[in-house]
């Protein structure tokens, strides 16, 4: 481990810095693998330095420390822009209108690259506890798609858990929708209500970045996420 990488972790990734013992060693090992084996590319002329790789890879290693790096195999490339970038692909909105040129902070392509904003990845790594993290969000989509379908249901250990997942997550989606509609708000922000895949990704942000808030607001969701992300019993 280059000493400069440890300096980056100390300054920029407190979530990893707080880890101790074997878990810390597992995360650092995974971080080194991610830095080495992923194809890193700068978008829009952005220069991808070791600091960029370490900050992003450390968050990924923290996120996947119990489910393993194989879940990220489909995301072979990580493209990093300095800040928000313009996505030129056309899409049809709920209003039936074709939209293009939207501004994004990140995106994950099915069996393709993951795109991230460096400004947001760094800021959110340095200030955990907000429940917002673009790295956790986009790679939640990668894990979600491991079974071939981007549907908000990650790989789960058995049929019983899958049944529980469908029941609990549907109820939580409806509850969060009602809370936001009434003006009360929720730890799961409104963007998660876009569809089940975004609900899983946004909830994953809260699970890793503000776990106590998620556990307090949605204990049944929190318990299932511990199973989905391999944290249960660790």
Return the CATH number at 64: 1.10.472.150
- 80 occurs within a structural domain: yes
The angle at the Cα of 201, spanning 198 to 204, to the nearest 5 degrees, equals 145
Q: What percent of the chain has pLDDT over 70?
A: 89
Instruction: Look up residue 147 and give its two tokens.
Output: 């079974």
Instruction: Look up residue 222 and give its two tokens.
Output: 């929190």
Same domain, residue pair 54 and 105: yes
Same domain, residue pair 12 and 116: yes
| Structure confidence at residue 232 (pLDDT) | 74
Q: By three-state DSSP, how is residue 84 classified?
A: coil
Same domain, residue pair 122 and 36: yes
- 138 occurs within a structural domain: no
Alpha-carbon gap, residue 229 to 227, rounded angstroms: 6
Q: By three-state DSSP, how is residue 78 classified?
A: strand
The count of structural domains within the chain is 2
Range in 33-37, 42-46, 107-111, 220-224 with the lowest mean pLDDT: 107-111
Same domain, residue pair 17 and 96: yes
- What's the farthest any 2 CA atoms get from each other in the chain? 53
Same domain, residue pair 95 and 189: no
Same domain, residue pair 124 and 185: no
- 206 occurs within a structural domain: yes
Same domain, residue pair 18 and 91: yes
Mean pLDDT for the chain?
A: 89
Instruction: Find the radius of gyration of the CA atoms of the chain.
Output: 17
Predicted confidence (pLDDT) per residue in 116-154, tens digit: 999 999 999 999 999 999 999 999 999 999 988 899 999
- 49 occurs within a structural domain: yes
- How confident is the model over 73-90, as a mean pLDDT? 78
| Structure confidence at residue 90 (pLDDT) | 46
Range in 72-81, 83-92, 177-186 with the lowest mean pLDDT: 83-92
Same domain, residue pair 124 and 175: no
- 137 occurs within a structural domain: no
Alpha-carbon gap, residue 123 to 1, rounded angstroms: 24
Q: What residue numbers bound the domain in which 204 lies?
A: 159-228
CA separation, residue 19 to residues 61, 97, 124 (Å):
12, 47, 18
- 33 occurs within a structural domain: yes
| Structure confidence at residue 85 (pLDDT) | 56
Query: With 50 as the cut, is the pLDDT of residue 97 above it?
Result: no
- How confident is the model over 107-111, as a mean pLDDT? 71
- 55 occurs within a structural domain: yes
Same domain, residue pair 121 and 192: no
- 57 occurs within a structural domain: yes
Alpha-carbon gap, residue 232 to 234, rounded angstroms: 6
Q: What is the reported pTM?
A: 0.89
Same domain, residue pair 123 and 163: no
């Amino acid at each position: 481990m280059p000493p400069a990488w440890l300096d980056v972790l100390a300054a920029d990734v407190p979530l990893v810095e707080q880890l101790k013992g074997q878990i810390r060693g597992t995360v650092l090992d995974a971080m080194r693998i991610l830095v080495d084996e992923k194809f890193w590319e700068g978008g829009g002329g952005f220069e991808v330095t070791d600091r960029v790789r370490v900050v992003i890879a450390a968050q990924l290693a923290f996120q996947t420390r119990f489910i393993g790096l194989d879940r990220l195999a489909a995301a072979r490339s990580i493209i990093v822009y300095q800040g928000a970038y313009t996505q030129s692909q056309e899409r049809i909105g709920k209003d039936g209108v074709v939209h293009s040129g939207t501004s994004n902070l990140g995106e994950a392509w099915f069996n393709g690259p993951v795109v991230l904003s460096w400004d947001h990845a760094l800021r959110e790594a340095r200030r955990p506890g907000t429940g917002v993290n673009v790295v956790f969000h986009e790679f939640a989509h990668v894990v979600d798609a491991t079974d071939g379908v981007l549907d908000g249901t990650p790989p789960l250990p058995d049929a019983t858990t899958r049944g529980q997942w469908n029941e609990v997550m549907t109820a939580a989606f409806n509850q969060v929708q009602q809370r936001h509609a009434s003006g009360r708000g929720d730890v799961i922000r409104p963007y998660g209500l876009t569809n089940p895949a975004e609900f899983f990704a946004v909830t994953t942000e809260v699970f890793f970045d503000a776990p106590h808030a998620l556990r307090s607001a949605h204990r049944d969701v929190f318990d299932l996420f511990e199973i989905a992300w391999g944290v249960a019993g660790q």
